[in-house]
Amino acid sequence: MTEESIHGSFVALRMTRNVNIDTQEYLQQLITTIPSYSLSEAEQKTIQFEGIQKYIYLLKIISSKFKASSIPQELDVKIKHNIHQSIIDQSPIHLTIPFGGYKKWQLPTYPLPDWAELFNLVLIRDYVSSIAAAYKPGVIIEYFSDEIFVSRMNNYPQADLDQYNNEFNNFVTWFSQYLPKNISVKCSKIRDQISQAELMQRFDVEIEKQRNQWNQLPEDQKNYRLEKSERNYKADLSSLPIDEKNKILLESTLVHDAFIFGDWETGVPWAFGEKMIPIGFRYTGTWGIHLRSSVSSTVQFWIGIGALKKRKDSLLPTILTYQQYLENKSNLTNTQVNIIPLPNPNLQSILEV
């Protein structure tokens, strides 16, 4: 399946451009065109004879046009239940997107969001517009920031995390004017539901459990996890003695594991509460629907940088990993644009590859 075929009827308008349309005009159309979805005759018959729940679930929520991998059985049951409950209550379909709440520090756009975040908003808008067209209560999209523990895990200054999250909220507020009337997008944080002090107390209990299990892990798994922590840790640890470096990285790894595996969520439903349907872009396992993050990428938007793929007669939004950015750096062009009236320098130009 080609990138262009993935996205059906709105490809011609949103995801490609005529050679005579420049980057500025392309991005203007991509971002500011409010979707106007018309149900096909087959879709209308599905709703009429099989019900709105089947339409929302089978034809839209798990659509292969957006989904990056299959849905585990346990999650499948939960999604159907939550859609059913929303329909009974005539409440909006509530999609949640837990995300890092930071920009990867090695990227040139750090610490602020860039086009990766906007391309994700565009994709999610297109993902839900066909639901909203058929279901009057509409859709709520709620991004949930995990930033509350990132400073401890990856040594990010809290001021940088706050700046990122404030600016991401500005993105969402500005972008909301380009949504169908029964779709809303909002930003939330784990810290809206629990204090950082309380969360860290819960983490400390789980960290000790994880620490006691660490020595039982195979050496290759230990090394892999420490290396991953080193890539994410905001500091150059290469000059430290190996024992001291590994001690720092182990603590970082254990904080991560406390978040992923720990029993800290009592009374903190955040992105997994009643009638919520969680979405992820990588490492979703059984907790969320694995979607593409942009039309031509599955890279998590907060650890990547937004760019446009240039083809002979088209452009495609994409999100590059840091490694892809480095590999393509010599071939990247930086095109000046003036579209979004936000004081973010990352939006004054866009990379093309």
What tens digit of pLDDT does each residue of 83-96 get?
999 999 999 999 99
- Kindly state the helix (H) or strand (E) to which residue 224 belongs, with its residue range: helix 219-232
- Tell me which of 64 and 100 has the higher pLDDT: 100
Nearest residue to 142 via CA among 97, 182, 85: 97
pLDDT value, residue 286: 84
Q: For 18-32, 72-86, 223-237, 290-304, which range has the lowest pLDDT when averaged over its residues?
A: 18-32
- Kindly state the helix (H) or strand (E) to which residue 212 belongs, with its residue range: helix 196-214
**Residue 19 pLDDT exceeds 60:** no
DSSP string, 40-97: -HHHHHHHHHH-HHHIIIIIIIT-TTTBSSPPPHHHHHHHHHHHHHHHHHT--EEEEE
pLDDT value, residue 312: 77
Question: What rounded mean pLDDT belongs to the chain?
Answer: 92
- pLDDT tens string 23-60: 999 999 999 999 999 999 999 999 999 999 999 998 89
- pLDDT tens string 195-208: 999 999 999 999 99
| Residues pairing with 297 in the sheet | 294
Please, which residues have CB within 8 angstroms of residue 294's CB and are 6 or more apart in sequence? Answer: 116, 119, 120, 122, 123, 301, 306, 317, 318, 319
Going by pLDDT thresholds of 50, 70 and 90, the confidence category of residue 63 is confident
pLDDT value, residue 113: 98
**Residue 339 pLDDT exceeds 50:** yes
Nearest residue to 317 via CA among 123, 127, 128: 123
Token pair, residue 239, equals: 């000059």
**Residue 12 pLDDT exceeds 80:** no
